[in-house]
Chains A and B, each alone.
Chain A
Amino acid sequence: MAISEKDLLLALGNEEPRYLEILPKLDEKAIAILSVLSKGNDTMMATKAIFLAGLSKTLSGAVIVETASKSAVKLKRIAAASAMEHLPEEKREKIALKLIDDADISIQKLVIRATGNSKSVKLKEKFTRLSKESPSGYIRELISALPQPMP
């Protein structure tokens, strides 16, 4: 049975939402509520909504994540980076190409982990550049530890 708006708000309000328990109850109406929450001023709630939207693996969920990836609010972009690993590859790479240019190490870390095996040439180029130019030794090491493609 689909989750009501009240129950969805309570479930996401939890300090530690049980995303996998909420997931089967999501319908399009609930995704629409997530969309509203993702754009709201309650940043904590917005980040939870963005993550759950990505987890839903729906087209409308992906749109929520993509929109969040362009947000001026860093925590929303971090949530988008957290969520993107659950998106279809094409969508994931599109968002990754945007987020990998973010100066924030947390965002770069999540993008690299989510798309490290990507075959996208553009993304590989960005990883190669970061592996040489990133001021963060951690990011350079993370990229160098990615599995190398078969020759």
Chain B
Amino acid sequence: MAITQAMWIHGHSIKVEYHDRIKSIRRAGFFARITGKPNTTNWFHFSIPTTVIVNDKRQMIDSVMLRFRSGSNKAKVTNVDIYDGDWKIAAYDNLGLYPATFGLQRFNVPGKPEISWGVGISIGVSFTGTTDAQNTIEFSSAGCDFNLFESVRLHFKVLTTPTVSIDQMLASMREVYEPVGVRVVRMSDENLDLPSLNTVDVGECKRGITTAEQNTLFNHRNNVVANDVVVYFVEATNPPYNGCAAHPDGKPGAVVASCATRWTMGHEVGHVLGLSHVDNNDRLMTGNGTGNITNPPPDLISSEITTMQNSNLTVNP
């Protein structure tokens, strides 16, 4: 999957947020060398030149990269926040990075959002050394990769909040889908007060066959357009399943039960996109239960990726 744009900016373009907390900043041809005052924290910012539209296609951010090195483990990068204009699109907190040599540190942007306003990278650094040498950090470069992903657009309709949070299920699904070029877009969230469908009859849960209760539930498609997929979070299914992807014609979606695993939503949406069970616990579509996945994140193989790309529910950029 080739990237569509790669934008970089040199380290000596770095901006310091709190000047009174640094002892010195030297901009050289090689890098910007910053020495922090002992026992301070600070933020440093890079503005990445951002071509938001290329050939009439709005670009999607894949990841950002930093090249930096530290004088010691007393000058640590603790945070990397990524912004599109004023919108924080990713946050890496509680880091403790102090590479001794310049390398490339990549920070993935979950959800691969479309970019509108320009990418900013904010870097939190703590200086806890007692000498200048210990409190020195050098930034060589910062960059950003952009791409165009096929997208599956999800709407969440919640009858019961699941034990594994929806955020966690979505993050887990993205762990599997994004590396194969399928972006998972969270389009909307809605709570549904439908106690009579909270344990929903799904029969034998076979593709193309739905119960009266499934038909009623899947009629709830507020704010959903034709090729969007709806995930209904219910307390339980009757009979008990982790989830069920059987859906009425023209109303693509799945139900996910409250005790489902972190991988169940990705698995069920995989069925909606046309995938079938396999006897392999390293793969998302295992028929032995996603609770038995042995090598997370589970895999999608090339034939499955082709099936997903050929689905009319994955939208070309």
Contacts and interface: CB of A to CB of B under 8 A. Distances in A.
Contact of A10 (B236, B244, B292): B292
Contact of B199 (A42, A78, A136): A78
Interface of A: 10, 12-20, 42-45, 47-48, 50-51, 75, 78-79, 82, 105-107, 109-110, 136, 138
A16 B205 contact: yes
A66 to B, nearest CB: 17
Contact of B259 (A14, A19, A75): A75
B264 interface: yes
- The bracket for how many chain B residues form the interface is 20 to 34
Nearest to A20: B204
Interface of B: 195-196, 198-199, 204-205, 235-236, 238-244, 257-261, 264, 267-268, 277, 287-292
A19 B290 contact: no
Given A43-B259, A105-B196, A82 B243 contact: no
6 contacts: A13-B289, A17-B241, A51-B240, A78-B236, A82-B199, A106-B235
A35 to B, nearest CB: 16
A140 to B, nearest CB: 11
B241 A79 contact: no
A16 B292 contact: no
A16 B199 CA distance: 15
A13 B244 contact: no
A15 B267 contact: yes
Give the secondary structure class of A's interface: helix
B240 A13 contact: no
Contacts of A43: 259
A12 B242 CA distance: 10
Name the 5 nearest CB pairs between A and B, nearest first: A13-B289, A106-B199, A44-B259, A47-B240, A15-B242
A2 to B, nearest CB: 19
Given A13-B292, A43-B259, A79 B240 contact: yes
A82 B268 contact: no
Given A14-B289, A15-B264, A106-B236, A136 B259 contact: no
Contacts of A17: 241
A38 B241 CA distance: 15
A109 B240 contact: no
B236 A75 contact: yes
Contact of B195 (A16, A45, A110, A136): A136
A134 to B, nearest CB: 12
Nearest to A49: B240
A149 B264 CA distance: 44
Contacts of B240: 44, 47-48, 50-51, 79, 82
Contacts of B196: 105, 109, 136, 138
